[in-house]
A and B are shown apart, each in its own frame.
Chain A
């Protein structure tokens, strides 16, 4: 166990090292910090003196070590645009992103488990077929398009006049298909409740929650089909296994077999994939936040790119790197702990 733990931690450190080298290389090659500081009128000799003073003429590895040391103490430099420490800017934007991911995760967990399990137990039922069909359509719609559709339907509203308005059934169908809109689709709204430090939450007021609905649904839409299909596939495999047949033969009630015996073993691979996917959701938050102008880290990152705000870009990469590495390592460790068949030492089979 100790060997497995050390191996995973070494792996995590190696990945963080690679990310930090890449981040440093970006910082080193993009933009000239002296230019940012002094402007045009300062003569070249003074610039050179400043370069020497800030150590910009030192060899690559010396500069990298200085960068890594600063990063470890939480100093990523000062954002060009916000004129405050980059980490501070990220800390202010982080809660919005985390709440969005939380909302989406909640939706995914609440919907994917029952749908996945049901469609594994009754694969031929029309409702299972409907969800399988819907899930492949869901995979094929990019997350930003889902977001745009949600805005059109629930925020702007649609008026359908496909059926003749003069007949009663036509008017009824038109009314049924039309929507009023009115759901907020821009930013986090005004009803934020301060919690602690930079953290103001959307979760504590009705107004805040309604702002969270559309972005969360959009973000969940990209992962939900994957999870439904995964849970269904794993559950179907488990239902074929010997111990489920044995439990049936013993006369245990189906409910108990499905939800106690089978579901437990289904959730094991789901947890691993799920943990990794929650990390990947960070990528999709960039798209979702762009559509809804949700003031989280993703939108901040995109703005930083457009403004060539190098310290902020570098800080974002490092923070996201940490998030990915920590979730992946945790998932590996949990899997190692929960699943006794995983080889804890040496190469995984």
Chain B
């Protein structure tokens, strides 16, 4: 498949916008209602998360605004609701809509942060392994194999548990966002490394790399300036799936009590907090944040599926 990013390395710097408008990617996006709907949903959720301080009627982090007497109020369509709280309140009396906005913000922040870290580690290691080959390749890929033979979730849970036990619960909660980004980032880099390595191996044999070598360019320059741009399209495709995975991993860690504290909740810790009240009939505290999480992850996954069909990179299989 010829996509703009898989054309040979020397691309003109200008006119990127025009190239996007001319591309097959844009053409198929214009024709695909499903993809448009997913992107719109995703953008709406991201926008809501970014504008949370302005959209939210109350500030859930401000203890003075919380009314414990107004706890466990149902959402507006059920009898006994309070019009001040559209989606009801949680067990501490926090407005569910406000705290979901802030929670989505935390979930997205951790998801994007973790994927950025994964991509950084994976791209550097994948390039080194693929381009240099030999011992470096064997060592890095063996490491990736070992890590992948455990599930990434398992690695994240174990690392999270050990870090929490070492540093103590209080310290862990204070730096929870940073910790989760590090843990999920470190747990999932092998996916990127394998993908990048596979496409580097294919690119390495091409003539432009030989030409660059003959010209006497340094390996580092060839790797990052010439080979890397040609491996971008598979990176792009797996990034969508990885963001969805990172958000689910974060939610899982938070659900197990290894993630965001209840005072500064993500969608996962909201679900965990609400689960205790499920048996008493207050299903909305857990299921409404759950619905937001599912819609967020689903729209990213569907976009990823669409992107894979359109760009059709030779993803590393197995």
Give the interface of A toward B (CB within 8 A): 15, 18, 26, 29-30, 136-137, 139-145, 148-149, 151-152, 156, 272, 276, 279-280, 282-284, 286-287, 290-291, 301-302, 305-306, 308, 310, 313, 317, 320, 324-325, 328
Partner of B283, one of A139, A152, A276, A325: A152
The one of A26, A144, A286 that contacts B157, using a Cβ cutoff of 8 Å: A286
Interface stretch, picked from B108-116, B117-125, B205-213, B250-258, is B250-258
- State A306–B164 Cα separation when bound (angstroms): 9
Cβ of B154 under 8 Å from chain A: yes
Question: CA of A284 to CA of B150 in the docked complex: distance in angstroms?
Answer: 12
Complex CA distance for A286 and B157, rounded to whole angstroms: 9
B298/A148 in contact, CB under 8 A: no
For residue B294, which residues in chain A have a CB less than 8 angstroms away from its CB? 137, 140-141, 145
Bound CA–CA A152/B27 (angstroms): 44
Given contacts A18-B146, A148-B275, are A30 and B165 in contact (CB under 8 A)?
Answer: yes
Q: A148-B286, A280-B151, A287-B252 are in contact. Are A140 and B165 (CB under 8 A)?
A: no
Q: Given known contacts A30-B166, A306-B257, is B150 in contact with A324 (CB within 8 Å)? A: yes
Q: How large is the interface on B (under 10, 10 to 19, 20 to 34, 35 or more residues)?
A: 35 or more
Most buried by B among A136, A276, A283: A283
Cβ contact within 8 Å between B278 and A151 = yes
Please report B residues at the A interface, Cβ cutoff 8 Å: 146, 149-151, 153-154, 157-158, 161-162, 164-166, 244, 248, 251-252, 255-258, 268, 271, 275, 278-279, 281, 283, 286-287, 290, 293-294, 297-298, 301-302, 305, 318
Given contacts A15-B146, A136-B301, 7 further A-B contacts (CB under 8 A): A140-B294, A141-B294, A148-B275, A156-B279, A283-B150, A290-B255, A313-B165
Report yes or no: A136 in contact with B305, Cβ–Cβ below 8 A.
yes
Interface pair A152/B287, CB less than 8 Å apart: yes
Known: A15-B146, A18-B146, A282-B154. A152 touches B278 (CB 8 A): yes
Which residues of chain A are within 8 angstroms of B278 by Cβ–Cβ distance?
A: 148, 151-152, 156
Residue of A nearest to B162 (CB): A26
| Given known contacts A30-B166, A136-B301, A302-B256, A291 and B149 CB-to-CB distance under 8 angstroms | no
- Name the distance in Å between A135's Cβ and chain B's nearest Cβ: 11
- Residues of A near B301 (CB, < 8 A) are 136, 139-140
**Contact: A276 with B149, CB < 8 Å?**
yes
Complex Cα distance, B267 from A141, in Å, reads: 13
For residue B17, give the distance in angstroms from its CB to the closest CB of chain A: 31
Residues of B within 8 A of A308 (CB): 165
Q: Report how far A141 CA is from B292 CA in the complex, Å.
A: 11
B158 contact set on A, CB distance < 8 A: 317
Min CB distance A220 to B, Å, is 16
With a CB–CB cut-off of 8 A, which chain A residues contact B279? Answer: 156
Contact B154 A280 (CB under 8 A): yes
With beta carbons under 8 angstroms apart, the residue of A152, A284, A302, A324 that contacts B149 is: A324
Q: How far is the CA of A15 from the CA of B147 in the complex (A)?
A: 10
B278 to chain A, nearest CB (A): 6
If the complex has contacts A136-B298, A291-B275, are A148 and B287 also in contact, measured as CB distance less than 8 A?
yes
Whether the Cβ atoms of A145 and B271 lie closer than 8 Å is yes
- A29 touching B146 by the CB < 8 A rule? no
Q: Which residue of B lies closest to A309 (CB)?
A: B165
B244: chain A residues at CB < 8 Å are: 140
Q: Which residues of B contact A18 (CB under 8 A)?
A: 146
Assembled-state Cα–Cα distance A137/B158 (Å): 27
Chain A residues within an 8 Å CB radius of B302: 136
| Distance of A313 Cα from B164 Cα, bound (Å) | 13
Cross-chain pairs A/B with CB under 8 angstroms, 24 sampled: A15-B149, A29-B166, A30-B166, A137-B294, A137-B298, A141-B294, A142-B251, A142-B297, A144-B255, A148-B271, A148-B278, A148-B286, A156-B278, A156-B281, A156-B283, A279-B151, A282-B154, A283-B150, A284-B153, A286-B157, A290-B256, A305-B164, A306-B257, A308-B165
